[in-house]
Amino acid sequence: MAEFTAKDVQRLRQMTGCGMMDAKKALVESDGDMEAAVEWLRIHGLSGNAKRSDREASEGAVAAVRDGNVAGLAQLRCETDFVAKNADFVSLVDEIAARVAVEGEGAVASFADAVDKLASVLKENISIGTVVRLEAADGQVVDTYVHQQSGRGVNAVGIVLQGGTEELAHELAVHVAFTKPGYLAREDVPAADVDKERAVIEEISRAEGKPEAAMPKIIEGRMNGWYKERVLLEQAYVRDEKQSVVQLLGGATIVRFAQVLVGA
């Protein structure tokens, strides 16, 4: 029997772009000889994945699965929406999310062969993107929302709440899906981003000829608007803009939220 190591398999995959199982088979068939394995893959038409690996995987599907006090979000990337709507593709991202919920984010490693096999069958560059596991501690709840489009998830959100209900967590997940905040609180925004935006706003305000005396108030007002686009706790509730997210929360607290999007 041919003797080769995991490094040999990885090297062959890098050289040819083939899937893991194809690389192993090629090394077996060529008795561990790397050059012969490359030729075996070429003869059997299995080295075309190298070209696919260079193509942009900007499409795909996402999934969110809740299992008791945990939830998993997962993103599977591909090149076209045609493949993204494939039943096997959608089923795989659902399975990944479910496994992440139960076993953690490291569970994605066990899907390497399944992803490679699907890439070979569907003839596209397919890869696992962002995965997130959320866990609710005692006194907390977790819930999810997935926005569907053409039979596949395109926007998945998970929320962990302290002192709130699953229904409230779900409503907030829907809100996040539509507003796409990048941060929970104002203090979470990187200081460098804040300083850069403040400088731009000041430059714009001066170019507009705003009075110098009013400049601090103008800048602060525009910065508040900038925060509202990016910070969840600064936003108006999407279903009723007269109500803020903080008002919707009542006495509850958002512990953590996560969002996974197709194309992101």
Listed ranges 13-17, 37-41, 207-211, 254-258; the one with the highest mean pLDDT: 254-258
Kindly report the average pLDDT of the chain as a whole number: 90
CATH architecture of 59-185+232-261: 2-Layer Sandwich (3.30)
Q: How far is CA 57 from CA 54, 114, 125, 167, 206, in A?
A: 9, 17, 6, 35, 42
Q: In the chain, what are the domain boundaries?
A: 6-53, 59-185+232-261, 190-230
Give me the CATH code for the 190-230 domain, please.
1.10.286
Mean pLDDT of all residues in 221-245: 95
Domain 6-53 has CATH 1.10.8.10: yes
Q: Could you tell me the pLDDT band of residue 50, with boundaries at 50, 70 and 90?
A: very low
Reported pTM: 0.77
- Is residue 42 scored above 80 in pLDDT? no
Q: Which residue has the higher pLDDT, 20 or 168?
A: 168
Q: How far is CA 157 from CA 71, 95, 150, 173, in A?
A: 10, 17, 18, 6
Q: Could you tell me the pLDDT band of residue 230, with boundaries at 50, 70 and 90?
A: very high
- Is residue 255 scored above 80 in pLDDT? yes
User: For the segment 110-136, what is each residue's pLDDT rounded down to a tens digit?
Assistant: 999 899 889 888 888 899 999 999 999
Q: What does the pLDDT read at residue 5?
A: 87
Q: Could you tell me the pLDDT band of residue 58, with boundaries at 50, 70 and 90?
A: confident
